[in-house]
Amino acid sequence: MSNVATTTTMPNSAHPEPTRRDMLYLATGAVAAVGAGALAWPFIAQMNPDASTLALSSTEVDIGAIPEGQIVTIKWRGKPVFIRHRTKKEIEEAVNVDVAKLPDPQPDSARVKKPEWLVVIGVCTHLGCIPLGHQGPYDGWFCPCHGSAYDTSGRIRQGPAPRNLVVPDYAFLTPTKIKVG
Amino acid sequence: MSGPSTYVPKNAAARWLEQRLPILGFAHDSFVAYPTPKNLNYWWTFGAILSFMLVAQIVTGVVLAMHYTANTNLAFNSVEHIMRDVNWGWMIRYLHANGASMFFLAVYIHIARGLYYGSYKAPREVLWILGVVIFLLMMATAFMGYVLPWGQMSFWGATVITNLFSAIPLVGDAITTWLWGGYSVDNPTLNRFFSLHYLLPFMIAAVVGLHVWALHVVGQNNPAGVDIKDVAKDSVPFTPHATMKDALGISVFLMLFAWFAFFVPNYLGHSDNYIEANPLVTPPHIVPEWYFLPFYAILRAIPSKLGGVIFMFGSIAVLFVLPWLDTSRVRSATYRPLYKIFFWLFILCVICLGWLGSQPPEGGAVLAARILTAYYFIHFLVIMPLLGLFETTKPVPASIADAVLAKQAGQAGAAH
Ligand code: HEM
Ligand code: FES
């Protein structure tokens, strides 16, 4: 018995060079790993937004009826979008800021297409609550959840949120109509 | 579980089965003959209480799933339908909703018992780690369950918690979109949460199986923190001793459970969850269920998004390494005069964090939450390692039998 054992194990321990068999094991293993990965992907990807969710991705809004000083909330991709018709004072407050001192530095001009109209996604960049308009120390928005304050350009000024309110893709179709998305 | 079974089949059918699948012997060795330390107190009945609660949640949950509809247009009304139309639906739902709270109450007592008596120390590290895994799975299950009724707190709780993942650098937003299956918490999210809420309790049951297996390999800890040396002197058979004690523990616990479920069924819930989810209106003050409050307080205490998330998960992750942070050679707090004090300070710290988690994050509450968050981590990362080095412990009894005799002598002395 012991003879048999030694003779069968000897060749492997005596010859450390890879054999034809090692090569085959490796190739089989590699194919199996790629196969498992390829099969896993559909099971992971099925959780991403599906075609019907992606299809809903743009909305047209008539902004002609929004008076100066008001914020209108519309729903886009399941999220609120704020359309704010800013007053002179609010525009000035947004422009006259030392941009370099902001937590997420961005000049107002980079956030609007026309100074009177600010369009931002109404989701707090902290953990996703909806900030309340015309509130907080900067006259923009205030998030009741953990106390983030945004200014009249939707920029974060105070509190735990790391970034400014996001400006979605949008375009003016006519002077009184925009398309979000 | 180790060694040959002492089980003797009493009839031909049992003998026949035993030769083919020794399941009766296995059950006998695990729950009848199994030696339990004879000094166990009622804090040791919480394992049985937890097992009972897991079964209760599964039974009530499966019944709810027969009447519940996981669709954003129908979910809220289907829960109202359970409450008003389904025979006994109100009772089953209240048992399930309050059962979750009772489950957490029991698990917190069970964990605190482990902390007090040093049950996480060698050779019980794996047993302890499996327990922390169960705790995490329970949190995931309860979180997803709370989303199902699709009320305002369901929706906004889900929004805040899933947004935690967006704090991860670079891939955070992609992960959050993937979790949602869209650009916000919506129908795909509700559907997958229902699927997972159904699945996870069975995964918990599997990990409980491993937990009990590990327990039966290393044996139970006990108030004296010394292992069984002489089975005849130090232990009693599981049945009837532990079985009866567990049955009494479960009965008393059930009274509390029944009191909540039948007399104050909505006391532990939030009234905003009886308002249907509205993605365009955030409630003025979002709070999670009471059992998540200490962790929520830690999340909000850190003035940075990523930092808050790291500390919140860290507060549970630290439990995984506790067996190696505690340097003391003595297990039970009974013989550790200083640790006993720090243990109660820690419990107080967690309770205060829980209260702060329920308060709006303003002014003094934020500062207090920061101090207590710091203390939470100091307890594990500084106090536990140092205490083992500097504490003068009391003499540990040589055996469980000695501990019992010493206690009886003490009581007899006090009586005279
Ligand atoms: C670890 C065990 C479980 C825990 C901790 C748990 C927890 C919860 C919680 C907290 C809720 C929300 C209750 C409310 O406010 O209405 C809930 C709802 C629900 N759970 Fe579970 N659950 C568990 C097991 C199960 C199982 C095994 C099933 C079914 C297969 C299930 C099915 C449901 C259903 C259908 C709802 C929605 C109806 C309702 O809200 O009452 N649960 N669960
Ligand atoms: S979600 Fe707005 S401050 Fe936290």
To 5 degrees, how large is the angle CA B35–CA B217–CA B330? 85
Q: Of A47, A79, A130, which is closest to B192 when you measure between CB atoms?
A: A47
Q: How many CB atoms lie within 10 A of CB B221?
A: 24
Ligand 1 geometric centre to CA of B197 (Å): 7
- First-residue to last-residue Cα distance in chain A: 77
- Rounded Cα distance, B42 and A132, in Å: 51
Q: Do residue A80 and residue B280 have CB atoms under 8 angstroms apart?
A: yes
Q: What is the model's pLDDT at position B354?
A: 97
State the smallest CA–CA distance between residue B377 and chain A in angstroms.
21
Q: Of A47, A160, A162, which is closest to B181 when you measure between CB atoms?
A: A47
Which ligand neighbours the alpha carbon of B54 most closely?
1
Q: In the predicted model, is pLDDT for residue B367 greater than 50? A: yes
Q: Residue B135 is which amino acid?
A: F
Ligand 2 geometric centre to CA of B180 (Å): 19
Distances (CA, A) of B185 to B156, B192, B296: 9, 11, 20
DSSP label at residue A165: P
Backbone torsion region of residue B179, taken as left when φ is above 0, otherwise alpha when ψ lies between -120 and 50, otherwise beta: alpha
Instruction: Show contacts of B407-416: CB within 8 Å, 24+ apart.
Output: B407/B39
Q: Which of the pair, B366 or B211, is modelled with greater confidence?
A: B211
Q: What is the model's pLDDT at position A160?
A: 85
Ligand 2 geometric centre to CA of B169 (Å): 18
- Rounded Cα distance, B142 and B157, in Å: 12
Q: What is the model's pLDDT at position B378?
A: 98
Q: In the predicted model, is pLDDT for residue A8 greater than 90? A: no
To 5 degrees, how large is the angle CA B138–CA B140–CA B144? 115
Q: What is the model's pLDDT at position A6?
A: 47
Tell me phi and psi for residue A66, to 5 degrees.
-85, 115
A134 tagged catalytic: no
**Contacts of residue A181 in chain B, CB cutoff 8 Å?**
none
Chain A interface test: which of B180, B281, B305, B359 (most A C-beta within 10 Å): B305
Tell me phi and psi for residue A141, to 5 degrees.
-135, 155
Q: Is A97 helix (H, G, I), strand (E, B) or coil?
A: coil
Q: In the predicted model, is pLDDT for residue B270 greater than 80? A: yes
In which band, very low, low, confident or very high, does the pLDDT at B361 lie, cut at 50, 70 and 90? confident
CB within 8 Å of B225: residues ≥ 6 apart: B117, B118, B330, B331, B332, B334, B335, B396
Q: Do residue B179 and residue A47 have CB atoms under 8 angstroms apart?
A: yes
CB within 8 Å of B346: residues ≥ 6 apart: B115, B376, B379
Q: Do residue B181 and residue A160 have CB atoms under 8 angstroms apart?
A: no
In which band, very low, low, confident or very high, does the pLDDT at B273 lie, cut at 50, 70 and 90? very high
Q: What is the model's pLDDT at position B219?
A: 95
Q: What is the model's pLDDT at position B4?
A: 65
**Contacts of residue A127 in chain B, CB cutoff 8 Å?**
159-160, 163-164, 305
Q: Whose CA is nearest to atom 1 of ligand 2?
A: A127
Q: Do residue B280 and residue A47 have CB atoms under 8 angstroms apart?
A: no
B179 touches chain A (CB under 8 A): yes
- Strands A132-133 and B35-37, sheet pairing: unpaired
Q: What tens digit of pLDDT does each residue of A59-96 get?
A: 899 999 999 999 999 988 888 999 999 999 999 999 99
The percent of residues in chain A predicted with pLDDT above 70, rounded, is 92
**Contacts of residue B166 in chain A, CB cutoff 8 Å?**
128
CB A165 within 8 A of CB A114: no
What residue of A is the nearest CA neighbor of B308?
A160
ipTM: 0.75
Q: Is the CB of B99 under 6 A from ligand 1?
A: no
Q: What is the model's pLDDT at position A15?
A: 63
DSSP label at residue B40: -
Q: Residue B166 is which amino acid?
A: S
Q: What is the largest CA-CA distance in chain B?
A: 74
- Determine the average pLDDT of the residues in B236-250: 96
- Determine the average pLDDT of the residues in B353-382: 93
Q: Do residue A160 and residue B286 have CB atoms under 8 angstroms apart?
A: no
- Rounded Cα distance, B190 and B196, in Å: 10
Looking at the domain B287-416, which fold is it? Answer: Helix Hairpins (1.10.287)
- Determine the average pLDDT of the residues in A147-173: 93
Q: Of B162, B177, B308, which is closest to A48 when you measure between CB atoms?
A: B177
Q: Of A47, A75, A77, which is closest to B178 when you measure between CB atoms?
A: A47
User: Hunting for tokens 């979910």 — which residue is that?
Assistant: B75
In which band, very low, low, confident or very high, does the pLDDT at A13 lie, cut at 50, 70 and 90? low
Q: CA dihedral defined by B175, B179, B184, B189, rounded to 10 degrees?
A: 180
Q: Do residue B305 and residue A161 have CB atoms under 8 angstroms apart?
A: yes
Q: Residue B14 is which amino acid?
A: A
**Contacts of residue A47 in chain B, CB cutoff 8 Å?**
178-179, 181, 188, 192
Q: Whose CA is nearest to atom 41 of ligand 1?
A: B93
Q: Is the CB of B64 under 6 A from ligand 1?
A: yes
Q: Residue B237 is which amino acid?
A: P
Q: What is the model's pLDDT at position B415?
A: 52
Q: In the predicted model, is pLDDT for residue A5 greater than 50? A: no
CB B126 within 8 A of CB B327: no
Domain B38-218+240-273: which CATH class?
A: mainly alpha
Instruction: Return the bridge partners of A62, or none.
Output: A177
Per-residue HEC secondary structure of B184-226 comes to CCCHHHHHHHHHHHHHHHHHHHHHHHHHHHHHHHHCCCCCCCC
Q: What tens digit of pLDDT does each residue of B226-236 get?
A: 999 999 999 99
In which band, very low, low, confident or very high, does the pLDDT at A147 lie, cut at 50, 70 and 90? confident
- Across all residues in chain A, what is the average pLDDT? 88
Q: What is the model's pLDDT at position B360?
A: 83
Find the helix or strand (DSSP H, E) in which B324 lies: helix B305-325
- Determine the average pLDDT of the residues in B230-243: 95
**Contacts of residue A160 in chain B, CB cutoff 8 Å?**
300, 303-305, 308
Q: What is the model's pLDDT at position A3?
A: 47
- Rounded Cα distance, B233 and B411, in Å: 20
Q: What tens digit of pLDDT does each residue of B117-136 get?
A: 999 999 999 999 999 999 99
What length is written for chain A?
A: 181
From A126, A143, A137, select the one nearest B302 (Cα to Cα).
A126
The percent of residues in chain B predicted with pLDDT above 70, rounded, is 98
Q: What tens digit of pLDDT does each residue of B105-117 get?
A: 999 999 999 999 9
In which band, very low, low, confident or very high, does the pLDDT at A53 lie, cut at 50, 70 and 90? confident
CB A112 within 8 A of CB A125: no
- Give me the residue spans of the domains in chain B: 38-218+240-273, 287-416
